[in-house]
Amino acid sequence: MPQHKDRVVLAYSGGLDTSVAIGWIGEQTGMEVVTVAVDLGQGGEDLETVRQRALDCGAVEAYVADARDEFASEYCMPQLQSGGLYMDAYPLISAISRPAIVKHLVTAAREFGATVVAHGCTGKGNDQVRFENGITSLAPDLKCLAPVRDLAMTREFSINYANKHNLPIETTHHNPFSIDQNVWGRAIETGFLEDIWNGPTKDVYNYTDDPTYPPLPDEVVITFEKGIPVAIDGNAVSPLQAIQEMNRRAGAQGIGRIDIVEDRLVGIKSREIYEAPGAMALHVAHKELENVTLDREQARFKRTVSDRWSDLVYEGQWFSPLKRSLDCFIRDTQEYVSGDIRMVMHGGRATVTGRRSESSLYDFNLATYDEGDSYNQSNAKGFIEIFGLTSQLAAARDVKFGKGEAMGKSKLG
């Protein structure tokens, strides 16, 4: 059996740039190209069409994977449980998709005997870091190649190359935006959006309808088990189905539109438009259920963990030791995050109107001011004296040395 040439695995979208990269990588490196296309719920063409195009463009093998359920369960749900929103704004739509793709790139490299993994990222963005850190974390022996960055493969070059070689790919349609999307959301950048004074136009959005003219309010009850949505309005759902259903319903109400100037890992500020209707609606519900079920100090510390978790994932450290350690803490916090959240979605907002949980820490008899109050208010006096003692001592010292803001003589002074 003849031995094949050295092989490179290419993350393949089916679009112009990665289709051109198949032949271009072969010409520049002499290696055979194996493409990898992963369906994360981004819509568009079916996998078989994408697979055949890769072969028609010169790939020796074309690996395809329907990873929608895997992505929803193993990436979107941990992100939801973490509660982390990068810059307190958006749910890491692209950042969580890269490690999902990386796992399949490494799987394909092993299956087809490749020694190099290639991606279509530029040298300006975060994704080059996410892909390459992920690949070398899972397979330190593999090398990475970025043809757009490393082989000077410009957009103009891609169009000319595709026309010259009669590649089966559309080259005349011009989309003014750079778009990355999956079932968890959609990220839009470049074009006129790079002028941060320009407001987004209607054609920017696809997952959400204009919240200015919403349909009637939509009330939904989401049931969680250990931080995972398991039913919507009493109907059992998988993680993927939960996201899809909330994308549809929250999207119809214009929920989840985010316009932000964010800090990229490479030091550049970038204007991004995101739309994540299902993700943001689920985040609202999940956070409120945590308010009911998490201990005060646990919830306070989790905010710190969530921020660090988000930064790590944004920076391409999904497979890092610290990320794994934080995952353990987050999973532990979700032990009692079970119950129902009722929300009304309308005009771009998801508003929680009801909560119930068997594992709730809310005690009606302690909280009520009416008959049935079981709280002993006389305990408060001693608590306040002890709780304020350190501040009282510090204030007395300030008075002693003529500093501070004490208005009168301290009892301790």
Res. 154: pLDDT tops 90: no
Distance CA 33, CA 116 (A): 10
Res. 299: pLDDT tops 60: yes
Contacts of 352 (CB under 8 A, 6+ apart): 284, 285, 288, 341, 342, 343
Q: Which of 7, 51, 53, 98 is catalytic?
A: 98
Half-sphere exposure of 260 (CA within 13 A, CB side): 17
Determine the distance from the C-alpha atom of residue 307 to the mean position of all C-alpha atoms in its chain, rounded to a whole number.
13
Label residue 165 left, alpha or beta by phi (over 0 means left) and psi (-120 to 50 means alpha): alpha
User: What percent of the chain clears pLDDT 70, i.e. is strictly above it?
Assistant: 93
Q: Was 178 annotated as part of a binding site?
A: yes
Q: Active-site residue 17, yes or no?
A: yes
What average pLDDT does the chain have? 92
Q: Which helix (H) or strand (E) holds 88?
A: none
Q: Was 362 annotated as part of a binding site?
A: no
User: What percent of the chain clears pLDDT 90, i.e. is strictly above it?
Assistant: 74
Distance CA 218, CA 168 (A): 44
Q: Was 314 annotated as part of a binding site?
A: no
Q: Was 18 annotated as part of a binding site?
A: yes
What is residue 255's predicted lDDT score, i.e. its pLDDT? 98
Spell out the domains of the chain, with CATH numbers in brackets: 7-173 (3.40.50.620), 179-294+337-356 (3.90.1260.10), 378-413 (no CATH)
Half-sphere exposure of 307 (CA within 13 A, CB side): 7
Q: Which of 53, 94, 127, 271 is catalytic?
A: 127
Res. 4: pLDDT tops 80: no
Q: Which of 73, 137, 178, 238 is catalytic?
A: 178
Kindly report which listed range (3-12, 26-35, 183-192) carries the lowest average pLDDT score: 3-12
- Per residue in 100-137, pLDDT (tens digit) is 999 999 999 999 999 999 998 888 889 999 999 999 99
Q: Was 137 annotated as part of a binding site?
A: no
Q: What is the dihedral of CA 301, 305, 308, 309, to 10 degrees?
A: -160
Res. 87: pLDDT tops 70: yes
Place of tokens 């990665």: 18
Res. 175: pLDDT tops 90: no
- Per residue in 355-391, pLDDT (tens digit) is 999 999 998 777 666 666 676 788 888 898 899 999 9
Q: Which helix (H) or strand (E) holds 200?
A: none
- Per residue in 23-39, pLDDT (tens digit) is 999 999 999 999 999 99
Q: Was 351 annotated as part of a binding site?
A: no
Q: In what side-by-side order are the strands of the sheet with 257-263? A: 178-182, 185-189, 269-275, 257-263
Give the residue, 393 or 154, on which the prediction is more confident: 393
What is residue 413's predicted lDDT score, i.e. its pLDDT? 47
Average pLDDT over residues 315-320: 96
What is residue 178's predicted lDDT score, i.e. its pLDDT? 84
Give the residue, 176 or 46, on which the prediction is more confident: 46
Q: Was 19 annotated as part of a binding site?
A: yes
Kindly report which listed range (197-206, 215-224, 392-401) carries the lowest average pLDDT score: 392-401
Distance CA 17, CA 39 (A): 18
Q: Was 274 annotated as part of a binding site?
A: yes
Res. 293: pLDDT tops 60: yes
Q: Active-site residue 98, yes or no?
A: yes
CB atoms within 10 A of CB 319: 16
